[in-house]
């Protein structure tokens, strides 16, 4: 299997390294069954839930991620290295070993208490999909939205799942009292490309239909066409098809972005060598290997890691 890193190795969150505190208070492993077969849920109690975004991040300053890892299994996902930091691998572990912050709703309520929180915009879907399959089981995203609606706190959601329609009642309520937006990630409408690159996601046409329903309900929202993959999804007619679908769905905006491979180069090229070996030379030229930066000492996560993980 393409990928690299530790597959079910020593977990940093348990504080197993001498002198290192665990990232989470408690953990419990739950093996998925039925619709969740093939997934393992690591239920944890997080220490915090609202994270400060890195300086210069566009559109938002704060994020909430109730889950870590993502069963959508997108081969290009930029969030894979965060799993490596936790002691998992960035390959199949990221797709199947899902960290669930079971106290996310309680933390959201506490951290947005009047007098404690500024009321700043909070983004969901920045590092893991808030409506991945785990949400059907745990309903943490819905609980967090309930808190934000109660507080009148502005928020945004980015997802690849039509499961967001389950919460149409809350989103409609939020749109009448505060700033809210729901955008969908649709990198391609090409069925073959979709199946190869996003094997765990809902059909992209279902995402377009969900966007249209939300827009008809008066909820602002747009579309992110990213990443565009050279030689795979970058033909002009492919891009035009997505733009046309966004317009027809009533999207407020349609942003595009090219592939970047920071932190996932080895994983993505491993997939590419199996899927489209004829493109390897082009990608090696476009995405040359860069020298790794000095890694932080064990027990001293970098500032970026702290911001991402909410330590």
Q: Would you state the pLDDT for residue 14?
A: 54
What's the chain's average pLDDT?
88
In a domain, 255, yes or no: no
**Angle of helix 140-151 versus helix 168-177 axis, rounded to 10:** 20
Q: Would you state the pLDDT for residue 55?
A: 83
Q: What is the tally of structural domains in the chain?
A: 1
In a domain, 22, yes or no: yes
Q: Is 85 helix (H, G, I), strand (E, B) or coil?
A: helix
Q: Would you state the pLDDT for residue 86?
A: 86
In a domain, 64, yes or no: yes
Beta carbons of 230 and 191 less than 8 angstroms apart: no
pLDDT band (50, 70, 90) for residue 58: confident
The 10s digit of each residue's pLDDT in 250-260 is 999 999 999 99
Quote the CA–CA distance of 201 and 198 in Å, as a whole number.
Answer: 6
Q: Would you state the pLDDT for residue 281?
A: 98
Per-residue tokens: 10: 């020593």
pLDDT band (50, 70, 90) for residue 285: very high
In a domain, 100, yes or no: yes
Beta carbons of 229 and 77 less than 8 angstroms apart: no
- Which residue did the predictor score with more confidence, 18 or 146? 146
Q: Is 245 helix (H, G, I), strand (E, B) or coil?
A: helix
In a domain, 264, yes or no: no
Q: Would you state the pLDDT for residue 253?
A: 95
The 10s digit of each residue's pLDDT in 193-215 is 999 999 999 999 999 999 999 99
Query: Using CA of residue 97, residue 275, residue 79, residue 22, what is the dihedral sign?
Result: positive
In a domain, 310, yes or no: no
* Range with lowest mean pLDDT among 128-142, 154-168, 285-299: 285-299
For residue 13, pLDDT beyond 70: no
Quote the CA–CA distance of 147 and 167 in Å, as a whole number.
Answer: 13
- Helices and strands (H and E) in the chain: how many: 12, 11
- Which residue did the predictor score with more confidence, 250 or 299? 250
For residue 187, pLDDT beyond 70: yes
Beta carbons of 147 and 108 less than 8 angstroms apart: yes
Give me the domain span that covers residue 8: 1-156+163-174
Query: Using CA of residue 300, residue 305, residue 309, residue 311, what is the dihedral sign?
Result: positive
Bridge-based pairing of strands 155-159 and 122-124 is parallel
Rounded mean pLDDT of 31-56?
Answer: 93
pLDDT band (50, 70, 90) for residue 117: very high
| Percent share of the chain, pLDDT over 70 | 85
Quote the CA–CA distance of 85 and 13 in Å, as a whole number.
Answer: 10
Per-residue tokens: 23: 């990232």
In a domain, 23, yes or no: yes
In this structure, what is the dihedral angle of CA atoms 208, 210, 216, 222, given to the nearest 10 degrees?
-50
Q: Would you state the pLDDT for residue 191?
A: 97
Per-residue tokens: 196: 């190869």
Rounded mean pLDDT of 106-118?
Answer: 96
For residue 296, pLDDT beyond 90: no
In sequence order, which residues have a C-beta less than 8 Å from that of residue 185 and are 6 or more positions away? 158, 159, 160, 207, 223, 224, 226
For residue 299, pLDDT beyond 60: no
Distance of CA 21 to the CA centre of its chain: 26
In a domain, 130, yes or no: yes
Peptide bond into 97 cis (omega under 30): no
């Amino acid at each position: 299997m393409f990928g690299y890193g530790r597959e079910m190795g020593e977990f940093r969150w348990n504080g197993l390294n001498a002198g290192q505190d665990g990232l989470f208070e408690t953990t419990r492993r739950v093996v998925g069954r039925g619709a969740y077969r093939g997934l393992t849920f690591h239920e944890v109690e997080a220490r915090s839930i609202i994270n400060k975004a890195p300086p210069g991040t566009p559109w938002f300053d704060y994020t909430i991620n109730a889950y870590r890892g993502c069963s959508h299994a997108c081969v290009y996902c930029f969030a894979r290295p965060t799993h490596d930091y936790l002691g998992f691998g960035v390959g199949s572990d990221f797709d199947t070993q899902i960290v669930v912050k079971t106290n996310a709703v309680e933390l959201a309520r506490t951290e947005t208490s009047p007098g404690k929180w500024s009321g700043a915009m909070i983004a969901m879907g920045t590092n893991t999909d808030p409506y991945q399959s785990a949400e059907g089981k745990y309903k943490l995203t819905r609980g967090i939205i309930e808190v934000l609606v109660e507080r009148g706190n502005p928020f945004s959601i980015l997802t690849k799942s039509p499961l967001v329609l389950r919460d149409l009642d809350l989103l409609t309520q939020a749109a009448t009292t505060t700033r809210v937006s729901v955008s969908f990630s649709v990198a391609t409408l090409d069925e073959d490309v979709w199946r190869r690159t996003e094997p765990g996601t809902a059909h992209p046409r279902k995402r377009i239909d969900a966007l249209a329903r939300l827009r008809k309900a008066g909820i602002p929202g747009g579309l992110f066409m990213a990443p565009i993959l050279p030689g795979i999804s970058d033909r002009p007619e492919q891009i035009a098809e997505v733009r046309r679908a966004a317009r027809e769905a009533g999207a407020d905006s349609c942003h595009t972005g090219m592939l970047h491979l920071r932190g996932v180069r080895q994983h993505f090229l491993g997939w590419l060598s199996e899927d489209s070996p004829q493109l390897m030379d082009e990608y090696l030229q476009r995405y040359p290997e860069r020298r790794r930066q000095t890694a932080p000492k064990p027990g001293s996560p970098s500032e970026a890691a702290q911001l991402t993980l909410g330590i």
